[in-house]
Amino acid sequence: MLTRLEEIRHEITGERLTLIEFARKLRQDATDPEALLWACLRNRRMNKRKFRRQHPLAPYVLDFYCADLKLAVELDGGQHNSTEGKQHDKVRDSFLRSLGIETLRFTNDDMMRHTDSVLNTVWNRTAVTPQNSPSSKTGAPPGKPPAAG
């Protein structure tokens, strides 16, 4: 089962990338909002949580994923506003929920115009300590959210 982005890539180039190759390509072709969020998430900058970007989870590729919290963070472009896009997101979110993965969704516009608000939302969600995480064993308190920009 191909995602819509994979279908478009296949239609344009005539090639069919594996999910891992597709994820690598997405990393290389990051949008400005993705690059901005990644700068704030990488190297455990968000509550010392490890995030992966463009993480393949068949049949999807998650924009950002924290395995410790089973948390996906998605940045949505304009294609997500269409009826088809909303339906695709609904199916995708349902699939991820069935795996115990929570999804936080933000628009690209929100990431660029309301960066602090997006970061605060992610910060607050990552401050929650799951039962089996390493930080719950140390009792380490969460720090301060990273500054945007």
Which tens digits make up the pLDDT trace of 62-84? 999 999 999 999 998 866 566 78
Give the residue numbers spanning the domain of 64: 4-128
Q: Residue 31 falls within a domain, yes or no?
A: yes
Establish how many alpha carbons lie within 13 A of residue 144's alpha carbon, considering only the half-sphere containing its beta carbon: 2
Mean pLDDT, rounded, of the chain? 80
Tell me the C-alpha distance between 19 and 55, whole Å.
Answer: 10
Q: Is residue 149 part of a domain?
A: no
Query: How many distinct structural domains can be found in the chain?
Result: 1
For residue 120, name the pLDDT band (cuts at 50, 70, 90): very high
Say if 140 falls within a structural domain: no
Question: Does the pLDDT of residue 22 top 50, yes or no?
Answer: yes
**Residue 136 counted as domain residue:** no
Strand order in the sheet with 60-66: 52-57, 60-66, 71-76, 102-107
Identify the CATH number of the domain in which residue 37 sits: 3.40.960.10
Q: What is the reported pTM?
A: 0.71
